[in-house]
Amino acid sequence: MKIPSSGITPENVYLNRRRFLAAAGGAAAATALPAAAAVRDLETVPGPFSTDEAPNSWEDVTTYNNFYEFGTGKEDPYRNAQDFATRPWSVTVSGECERPGSYDYEDIIAPHTLEDRVYRHRCVEAWSMVVPWVGFPLGDLLKRFEPNSQAKFVRFKTLLDPQQMPGQRRRILDWPYVEGLTIAEAMHPLTLMVVGIYGKSLPNQNGAPLRLVVPWKYGFKGIKSIVEIEFTSRRPRTSWEIAAPNEYGFYANVNPEVDHPRWSQARERRIGAGLFASKQPTLMFNGYAEQVASLYSGLDLRRNF
Ligand SMILES: Nc1nc2c(c(=O)[nH]1)N[C@H]1C(S)=C(S)[C@@H](COP(=O)(O)O)O[C@H]1N2
Ligand SMILES: [Mo]
């Protein structure tokens, strides 16, 4: 990171704390989390759309995760993804475009300037964080594949590898994890192809080496560890729609007025705010309405949830 923000907790403070806990021995050592896999520094520039809200700590962002391929507990991805192999890595591009093929991770990243973007992150489970992502606009990547006029949607897939991903040995979801966007959503300048957090390469539990971030949608749209991108003429079915179509829709836009069938979406718990902090109001489109509301003009957001 070229311009460090004073609000950002350096990763080494976190690591040192872990070492201290481990060195303290006894009960602390018994419950200590395993050593984190190495992350490297990335060269970045400040990007647009960053919130000035305080980012969550490195510890919050890297130990409170949803990544069901590594287990359904919040600390499971941290515990179980440390040995996940993310090199070599390639992404298959297919469907309605002029440049289909298999692209190495390095070739995908090479032409893009990496930007720091601090975005609000709102999980459908009604908790939220503020995350300093590193990435580049997804649209800039997709344009390189030259989508044709039939490309109305983009479908993404996570790696399928039950050997490495213990969660995939159980039928939690219809593996591999699949997500999708309309082409307009995919091309929107807020939509990020993410390769890092806090100026460093992505920790495995956050979706290394390549994951999506769509900040006005619920977090489950931000598919991790992507190996396939397909341009389609028809709307793809996503893993969460298949699992529970009455609970999780294709759009999944953050909306305080449309409740989940089993809980309210009007308020959210900000991770790290402390045990006694009250919930805060959820913002329409997670606070990005000014940028994205026009994408949905004329759409009934209650039906198209
Ligand atoms: N492949 C895959 N991608 C995934 C998930 C998952 O279980 N598997 N969980 C989603 C959910 S529900 C959320 S809230 C975010 C969490 O991202 P984070 O752990 O980096 O905060 O990842 C999303 N992407
Ligand atoms: Mo989520």
Q: Residue with the nearest Cα to atom 16 of ligand 1? A: 66
**Domain residue ranges in the chain:** 5-295
Mean pLDDT value of segment 65-83: 98
What pLDDT, on a 0 to 100 scale, did the predictor assign at position 35? 87
pLDDT tens profile 91-138: 999 999 999 999 999 999 999 999 999 999 999 999 999 999 999 999
Mean pLDDT value of segment 22-30: 46
Q: For residue 262, say whether it is annotated as part of any ligand binding site.
A: no
Mean pLDDT value of segment 171-183: 98
- What are the angstrom distances between the C-alpha of 148 and each of 199, 222, 292? 34, 24, 23
- The verdict on domain 5-295 having CATH code 3.90.420.10 is yes
Q: Cα–Cα distance between 170 and 76 in angstroms, integer?
A: 14
Q: How confident is the model at residue 18 (pLDDT cuts 50, 70, 90)?
A: very low
Query: What share of the chain in percent tops pLDDT 90?
Result: 87
Greater confidence (32 vs 230) lies with 230
Lowest mean pLDDT among 29-43, 171-185, 219-233: 29-43
Give me 46's structure tokens: 């400040």
Q: How confident is the model at residue 12 (pLDDT cuts 50, 70, 90)?
A: very low
Lowest mean pLDDT among 3-7, 66-70, 117-121, 224-228: 3-7
What pLDDT, on a 0 to 100 scale, did the predictor assign at position 31? 62
Residues with Cβ within 6 A of ligand 1? 65-69, 121, 123, 158, 177, 206-207, 219-220, 222-225
Query: What share of the chain in percent tops pLDDT 70?
Result: 90
Q: How far is the CA of 222 from the centre of ligand 1 (A)?
A: 6
Name the residue with tokens 């409740």.
Answer: 259
What pLDDT, on a 0 to 100 scale, did the predictor assign at position 34? 81
What pLDDT, on a 0 to 100 scale, did the predictor assign at position 242? 97
> What are the phi and psi torsion angles at 120 (to 5°)?
-70, 145
- Quote the pTM value: 0.91
Rg (CA), the chain: 19
Average pLDDT, the chain: 92
Q: Cα–Cα distance between 16 and 6 in angstroms, integer?
A: 19
pLDDT tens profile 235-281: 999 999 999 999 999 999 999 999 999 999 999 999 999 989 999 99
What pLDDT, on a 0 to 100 scale, did the predictor assign at position 32? 72
Secondary structure of residue 135 in the 3-state scheme: strand
Q: Residue with the nearest Cα to atom 10 of ligand 1? A: 220
Q: Residue with the nearest Cα to atom 7 of ligand 1? A: 67
What pLDDT, on a 0 to 100 scale, did the predictor assign at position 284? 98
What pLDDT, on a 0 to 100 scale, did the predictor assign at position 13? 42
Q: For residue 211, say whether it is annotated as part of any ligand binding site.
A: yes
Q: For residue 286, say whether it is annotated as part of any ligand binding site.
A: no
